[in-house]
Structure 1
């Protein structure tokens, strides 16, 4: 079922000298990278559609963590790893493959690009690259990533139908999935992240339509720079907080920051320029 022999063929196709490149590719499916990508799209693109995909990602995180834990299948042995890499959790199905489909495929769906071959090809290429990178690194078998990707497609389809284009509904589903994930995983770090992010999204996404629009490309660049800086700062704070309720609150603040950053930058920018903010 996990295609161990086929996985060995994939691993043998890439030598260790390309390890850094493979690690860079696999990061395109990591929660932190996906969070930053979605945050930038939220700040500079369609906020409602981007927020919807953020809710997909948060809901998916809770779902896949609970499923992996319940199945309890181990990763491949460390002896086959391409390079030294820290990995946590179980091996089946692949969370990176699942998350890549949920986010990149979710963006194609939310932005109504399902009939656009370029968008489909781009999202598909990212999913395949991330999925194969996990096999090449040796942290998953080929069957793990195939099943993860298939589950991702089914999950995006289900979330699209249930949420009906409303981010608040998406975050409500995320909360419903995060609570059991925290219990099943024993409050694992990413399960706590899912819980806090779901709460933050549920409390803040009702304000999306009231947020000011960008007035210039310069303001957009400032928003992205300031926004990412605060995200990085919050992730640093995360490393020194070890109390679960405080971490839940921190992750809720993280999502709240993503939502409200445009209003803050607009207000500050208007003050500096001596003109009222766009939301005044």
Structure 2
């Protein structure tokens, strides 16, 4: 698959069309498929479903939470296997003279991309996570959910092309892979009610990712997948429903914030890889099990 064949001229045409006028809106639009937003979306769904009195909804929320984890390890494995480059100017941000200096680094980070280009991680992740949310939100009409997911996936894919960070074939392949993996996992997990199976799949793919591309991020992704599986089976699976109190919510939020902030600080510092792997396992386990951890802590506080 040559670069001209992957592009068919679409990337160049769109990038030239939006040059000088559309880069900032495109950079904002592409965040709908960025990893931070996908984890926020999946985590929000998980938290919302965790407050339900129905164990099945809690499990379906966990199914959605597992999807961005699968996305991370899957993209790492596939890009390491194909090793196909991005468009030549993918790592160069356009200059916007009126943009305040404070926002320039943020814009450059969102409007550019480095590393291998095939398949598009944004296309895979957007299709997986937004599609997963559409599957579990079954209280909305199917047509509405389908249109919403298709619209978001289309906009994110368009933004990746117009920013010049992917070839046309990259986003088409990413969308197709995302759809195939999503429905495969939905079937494997009995319509999202057995999310533990998805966590196990994430661990297996994470091992492949490390074997194909041993890097800091791939090792952390494997640790996160392993921690999520341990968190589900060790902290959640035997107690998928519980009473929600103010103490439970407060303690759960505290555990979550300490975990996320602590992990973020260590990720920036980048300690030795074995240590970071262990931190990833612990952080993912706590995030998956945080409602249950908060509930158990609350029972002890209220009993004392």
Given that residues 47 and 208 in structure 1 are in contact (C-alpha distance below 8 angstroms), is that contact kept between their aligned partners in structure 2?
no
Q: Could you report, residue by residue, the CA deviation over 1:114-147 in whole angstroms, capped at 9, with x for unpaired residues?
A: 9611111222222112111111211111221111
> Residue 220 of structure 1: CA displacement?
5.5
What is the correspondence of 1:66-215 to structure 2 with a 5 Å cutoff? Answer: 66-78=77-89, 81=92, 83=94, 84-85=108-109, 87-112=113-138, 116-164=142-190, 165-189=193-217, 191-206=218-233, 207-208=235-236, 210=239, 212-215=242-245
Question: Counterpart in 2 of 1:242?
Answer: 271
The 3 A distance-change label for structure 1 pair 44 and 79 is: closer
> Residue 241 of structure 1: CA displacement?
2.8
The match for 2:44 among 30, 40, 60 is 40
Question: Counterpart in 1 of 2:99?
Answer: none
Matched residue SS, 2:215 = coil
Matched residue SS, 1:13 = helix
> Residue 174 of structure 1: CA displacement?
0.9
Q: Residue 30 in 1 paired to residue 34 in 2?
A: yes
Gaps of 5+ in 2: 50-56, 95-107
> Residue 167 of structure 1: CA displacement?
1.5
Q: Distance in 1 between matches of 2:201 and 2:90?
A: 39
Q: Distance in 2 between matches of 1:251 and 1:228?
A: 15
Given that residues 70 and 184 in structure 1 are in contact (C-alpha distance below 8 angstroms), is that contact kept between their aligned partners in structure 2?
yes
Given that residues 216 and 273 in structure 2 are in contact (C-alpha distance below 8 angstroms), is that contact kept between their aligned partners in structure 1?
no
> Residue 61 of structure 1: CA displacement?
2.3
Normalised by the length of structure 2, the TM-score is: 0.78
Equivalent pairs counted in the alignment come to 273
Matched residue SS, 1:174 = helix
Given that residues 101 and 152 in structure 1 are in contact (C-alpha distance below 8 angstroms), is that contact kept between their aligned partners in structure 2?
yes
The 3 A distance-change label for structure 1 pair 50 and 223 is: same
Given that residues 98 and 148 in structure 1 are in contact (C-alpha distance below 8 angstroms), is that contact kept between their aligned partners in structure 2?
yes
Question: Counterpart in 1 of 2:101?
Answer: none
Q: Residue 21 in 1 paired to residue 49 in 2?
A: no
Q: Distance in 2 between matches of 1:118 and 1:82?
A: 36
Given that residues 82 and 138 in structure 1 are in contact (C-alpha distance below 8 angstroms), is that contact kept between their aligned partners in structure 2?
no
The 3 A distance-change label for structure 1 pair 265 and 147 is: same
Q: Distance in 2 between matches of 1:125 and 1:133?
A: 12
Q: Distance in 2 between matches of 1:167 and 1:258?
A: 15
